[in-house]
Amino acid sequence: MSRMIKEHEDMMKCSYNARGYSSLLRGVALTEENVELAKRITCEVYGVKRSETRIVYRGPRTKSDYFTLKSDATHFDLYLR
């Protein structure tokens, strides 16, 4: 199986995991490639601009009780503004 197909399958699983939530993708492993792929797929499927997408980082909250820093994150969710 090619790497591109595998990445799209992983994104589809994250899309399925987001059902019932306000995010479009949920629990995507944090890599620069995944962030770019998630934004590109969202823009193509929903017909929105990249500036209309928002990334929320998920992982341990080491420095604050209210949010996760990008440097501490292990996963991300993608939302529309």
Residues 31-60 pLDDT 10s: 898 899 889 888 988 899 999 999 999 988
One-letter amino acid for residue 14 of the chain? C
Burial group, residue 24, by CB count within 10 angstroms (0-12, 13-18, 19+): buried
Task: Specify the number of domains making up the chain.
Answer: 1
**Spatial distance between the Cα atoms of 1 and 62, rounded to a whole number of angstroms:** 38
Confidence band, pLDDT 50/70/90 cuts, at residue 2: very low
Q: 26 by DSSP, 3-state: which?
A: strand
Residue 68's domain comprises 3-80
Contact 57, 70 (CB under 8 A): yes
Whether pTM > 0.85 for this model: the answer is no
38 or 21, greater pLDDT = 38
Expressed in angstroms, the distance from the first to the final Cα of the chain is: 34
- Name the CA radius of gyration of the chain, rounded: 13
